[in-house]
Amino acid sequence: MPQTPAQDSTGGLALPEIVDSHCHLDFPDFADEIPQVIARARAAGVTRMVTICTRLASEPAVRAIAEAHDGVFYAAGTHPMRAGEEPMATMEQLVALARHPKFVGIGETGLDYHYSADSAAAQQESLRIHIAAARETGLPLVIHARNADDDMARILAEEHRAGAYGCVMHCFSSSAELAQAALELGFYLSMSGIAAFPRSAELRAIFAAAPLDRILLETDSPYLAPPPHRGRRNEPAYTAHTARTGAEVFGLTLAEFAAATSANFDRLFTRAAAGARAA
């Protein structure tokens, strides 16, 4: 889809359109400030964003944010770190939620053995349920992976053989082997502020080796703010800083990289692309 530049809030040159494919606007960090956060994002060229629900009990609040703001879409699922404490989601629940026109993805789901290895069995069961819902709805899966590369690659491949589905490896910071396994399945890798950290040269090399047409951008805000905001609260406007890093990694201008990643977003998150065209 052709990208329409956003107007620079300073009245200067138009900014390229950037998409924050993963943020958490319902988190307390943004309490009573969501309109201002969204306004700052738009002023930075971030015209669309997906706010992610990490437990189904929070879905109504996340949905309300998306309903209240143009250019804001949402996804819902059970985060792997909550899989051992939340009621197990069912495919039927997820499919029912997916009927909302601003619901654009399933998750985030996945595996996290760094903080929650004791719930590995529940995480794997939850992940397979979310994959089934992605397959049923045709909406992309949003994957969180940490310290679980072998099981993650195995389950994603097993399930893909059972029936294709779309997927983004959100906030990708895992191994080159998991990146390659995901890319071979046709999945996408999402670049967060981690890629802009000075010590992330190895991660930048993983992204540089990936096809440009499989790269998305995100903040995972309020976490992982890129320089020059590292250590402070992250917010969708800061996707622009990560986009500059991505442009350097791929040897492109900011406008070229923003256009490529926005087109990738539209290709994966087809409902969000359709909603943008209808607006």
Please write the tens of the pLDDT for every residue from 108-136: 999 999 999 999 999 999 999 999 999 99
Averaged pLDDT, 3-19: 57
pLDDT above 90 as % of the chain: 92
Interval 146-192: pLDDT, tens: 999 999 999 999 999 999 999 999 999 999 999 999 999 999 999 99
Strand order in the sheet with 141-146: 18-23, 46-53, 72-76, 103-112, 141-146, 167-169, 188-191, 215-217
At what angle are helices 120-137 and 149-162 packed, to 10 degrees?
Answer: 30
Residue 83: half-sphere exposure toward Cβ, Cα within 13 Å: 29
Q: In this structure, are strands 18-23 and 215-217 parallel, antiparallel, or unpaired?
A: unpaired
Name all domains of the chain by residue range, CATH numbers in brackets: 18-278 (3.20.20.140)
Annotated binding site: 22, 24, 108, 144, 170, 220
Cross-strand bridge partners of residue 167: 141
Annotated binding site for a divalent metal cation: 22, 24, 108, 144, 170, 220
Other C-beta atoms lying within 10 Å of the C-beta of residue 242: 27
- Say if CB 136 and CB 160 are below 8 A apart: no
As a whole number of angstroms, the distance between CA 10 and CA 187 comes to: 37
